[in-house]
Structure 1
Amino acid sequence: MRNFFRSRRRTERAEVSLLQDNLPRHIAIIMDGNGRWARRRGLPRVAGHHAGMKKVREVIRACDDLGIPCLTLYAFSTENWKRPEGEVEFLMRLPEEFFRTEIDELVERGVQVRFIGDTSRLPSHTQETVRKTLERTEGNQGMTVIFALNYGGRAEVVNAAKAFAEEVASGLASPGALTEERFASYLATDGVPDPDLVIRTSGEIRLSNFLIWQAAYAELYFSDVLWPDFSREILHRAIEDYQGRMRRFGGLK
């Protein structure tokens, strides 16, 4: 299976030609490899996270320039709390630094920022950053950028099931009324299309509890490049690979 997925990677090339009428509506990225990037350079892991934060800016710009309607970035998972306390504290400070320096450009570009995940568990200063960012961008009509922060796909599905069960218990719905479309409306991503393309960096080949409902029919692209070395060119290659695939959704073409 590992060799199969690796065979779907394109050979790196300098030039990429994209079809403007077949761009993904929604790209989701698992930003992996910050720690390894730092270790290879003899730097502390937090240096890799800081370098990865700068790459977020580049990728948002690249997607917006292409006209991608939605981008979701896996910033911090529910499992990441297991990391050393100092590293977690640093990660919780990164949103404050990122949005302090980038919010004006995001507003200028018309980007609407959303957050998915249990933000109530975040430190108060991180929650304040989330609140201010939502407030500054809520009226924007351009690209949607979603940060998955303290997010877990299984927890999201469980929360959606609880929300529907509460409606049934209160008499507002019946069990038989539940459809895939209705269930999706209880998810944190309600209102945005499911991801067409999921990209993961660093050579790992798994979804790691990321958008497990929404990515059911997403095209997957795995790159050996560590996240701080990700670039606009690699993004374009991933999209070109996506455009070369036949998406049948269980049917025939």
Structure 2
Amino acid sequence: MSEVYGIVYTERNPAAKEAAERVKRILENRGLAAEIYSASNLIYSSLSESISLVITLGGDGTILKTVGALGNPEAAILGVNFGRGGYLTEVEAEDLDKALERVLVKDYTVERKMMLSITVDGESVGDALNEAYIASQILGKTLSFVVRRDDEVIAEGSADGLIIASPIGSTAYSFSAGGPIVDDDLEAVILTPVCPISGLKPMVLSLNHRIDVLAGSDYGFSMVIDGYRMRKFYKRSLMINVRRSSRSVAFLRLGPGGGLARRIRKKLA
């Protein structure tokens, strides 16, 4: 059975939808099956399990929604930037045709990136490719945080929120909040406080240890995973555990200059 390609586009850019339809025609003219999805629809649905390769036409949000909707966990993703930042994408929109030809002749490598597994009070709330953000349900109300590595308290303080980021997510929201850029090859988590009042600074912790964060609030909590999946907790305290997920994400690389190097160049430009 021939490969089935998924094409995911952002509705925010009309050129992305036009490109999706064009890519579908090219693939079908080569005798290949292709299915088109809009990124917003993937918030509530999944990609077909038969899809083995996904071409995303959008920005980082399109890729994050695609990752969350993968029906086949082994499916690889080629990100083409039709968005604003596009830090997770591999090529720009003007290079789509060249990239597609290379994909069709399998002139690429596959790079797998770790995800974070987040649990709250012992219950899984999902996996994050970029980050999980925890804040109060009431804007402007601070939270208290106690960070534990194994059984030892290593930091505590108050802040408007806390970003729990993966290495690949270190160039996203965490970086904008003052966190460091961390090499993708490190098995680590980045904890970046948002508007800390006292006692907290960005830190990078090895996932070879148990990492727990005890959060306190008088107004409940909101957690957002990868920018679009939200959970609310009507409690005064949460025990958040972070570890490496059993899942990882496969990205297509078309040569030197992609991946971490591309993200850093774009972020520091």
TM-score (structure 2 length as normaliser): 0.30
More strand by share: 2
More helix by share: 1
Q: Which has the higher contact order (CA 8 A, sep 6+)?
A: 1
TM-score (structure 1 length as normaliser): 0.31
